[in-house]
Chain A
Amino acid sequence: MGFEHDEVDRFAKGSRFFRFDPRVKLACTIFFICVVAMLRDLTALYLALVFTMVLVEASGVPMRHMVSNFILAFPFILFAFITMFLTSSLENAVAICFRISASVLALLLMVSTTPFFSTLKALRWYKVPEIVCNLLLFTYRFIFLLIDEMSRMRLARKARGFTGGRNLLDLGAFKTISYTIGMVLVRSNVRATKIYDALLSRGYTGDMRTIDELRVRARDAGFAFLFIGFSCLLISMQLEAVHWT
């Protein structure tokens, strides 16, 4: 898999929304998803989906990246659609498809245009406990180290003829997989001790200092206005205050 350390964030910097304030993006996205979660009106849901699709297109994040992440939610969408169609109504089935798709796209838009370190700054600003933020920061950093290590082990496994096994009865495959995981944990444990010692020798005491440069600019206000305005439109459609005739 060969992840580089910032590979997940690789599209963030090329995106048009990259330099927008992460606090505004996070709050707007959560607000929008909450509003969408309450919608039942088919037209409103359709508009919400179109809105997120337009924003995704405008953000400049490559479609392939969005699609590969969107697929993660696909089993749920399909499962929900089929059972809704069979046990409720076609309208509800279509509505749930639109609702999940719009919410997932809105979340993906946020996560793929915001580097994780900016998201963390926003979380810290929203008073998420410091220990949780630091834990998130370190875990995020270490994941890529370990993925690299594991892809080397995967190559070694393949070179020795491991093919991945066929089913649950293939105990040999399970032995190999669990030993791989065990080895990843042992190596990460050894590495953690070294990193911890290195941090201590550089004066790490448990608190994190960053240069804080979060500032709300006009474009952030515009972004917020767009999201909140559109959400209000959706709410009013749901409450049947606005008719499209």
Chain B
Amino acid sequence: MHIPDGLMDPMILFAGWAIALPVIAFAVSKVNRTVDESKVPFMAILAAGIFVAQMLNFPVGGGTTGHLVGATLAVMLLGVYGSIVVMTVILVIQCLVFGDGGITALGLNLLNMAVVAPFASAVIIRLANGKARSATSFAASWFAIVLAASACAMALALSFTLSNGAYGINGIVAIPTMLGWHAVIGVGEGLITMGVISFLAKIAPEMLTMQLGKAEPKPEVML
């Protein structure tokens, strides 16, 4: 889902930055206010953990593999604001160290994977209100992936329409392909998130209580 440079219409690129940046700035300030600056190494190693988790491939079928995005996992570990910050850090490193995802397209990539995906998961988690933890983590992951993919597909389709076919990918192709593929990938994401959360609940339940960016940290497990 990492959009490279040169694919999107400049207007869409600009819109991506314009929507993503204020949300991220808000999340950063929220985390900055509630978390002591010296907690930075702590968040960083969780970001690194999610980064490394993204490198593990899971089988999809027919020899293809997918990999985790990890937004829902981040929301469950760090809360919605913490996860926005962590996902932003991951995407910036992927762009500036590995050249994965473009630098002008970073705004759109941030919007899809660091804003839309965490918010989508947070909504599902909030709706579930702590009941049926496994089902919730599966549903939240699947929903987050599919929503992020549809945001990406929409940006591709809009680019195509806005530029009269010079940029992006025609919506007739982009929307069904992106949604179809990610509806499948999302199942893998859901299964893994579910597995990780139930594993952590057994082995290290204290890790599920580190909500960042909340006024008062709640002692109970969020889900």
Judge if A24 is at the interface, Cβ distance under 8 Å.
no
> Which single residue of chain A is at the shortest CB-CB distance from B173?
A83
CB distance from B188 to the nearest CB of A (A): 6
Q: Of B40, B62, B184, B191, which is within 8 A of A134 by CB?
A: B40
Judge if B180 is at the interface, Cβ distance under 8 Å.
no
Main secondary structure of the interface of B (DSSP, over half): helix
With most chain B CB atoms within 10 A of its CB, the pick from A129, A134, A174 is A174
Per-residue CB contact flags for chain B residues 49-61 toward chain A (1 = under 8 Å, else 0) read: 1111101111111
A167 and B60 contact, Cβ closer than 8 Å, known pairs A111-B96, A135-B43, A189-B45? yes
Q: How many residues of A contact B (CB 8 A)?
A: 90
> Which single residue of chain A is at the shortest CB-CB distance from B164?
A88
Across the interface, do B169 and A174 meet the contact criterion of CB distance under 8 Å? Answer: no
Judge if A164 is at the interface, Cβ distance under 8 Å.
yes
Across the interface, do B41 and A196 meet the contact criterion of CB distance under 8 Å? Answer: yes
Among listed B117-125, B143-151, B197-205, B215-223, interface-contacting one: B197-205
Across the interface, do A206 and B40 meet the contact criterion of CB distance under 8 Å? Answer: yes
- A207 to B50 Cα, complex, angstroms: 24
Across the interface, do A181 and B56 meet the contact criterion of CB distance under 8 Å? Answer: yes
Q: Which residues of B contact A (CB under 8 A)?
A: 2-8, 10, 13, 28, 31-32, 36-53, 55-62, 68, 77, 85, 88-90, 92-93, 95-100, 102-104, 160, 165-170, 172-174, 177, 184, 187-188, 191-196, 199-200, 203-204, 207
- Other A-B pairs beyond A168-B61, A186-B203, A206-B38, 5, CB < 8 Å: A34-B10, A80-B168, A95-B166, A96-B167, A139-B93
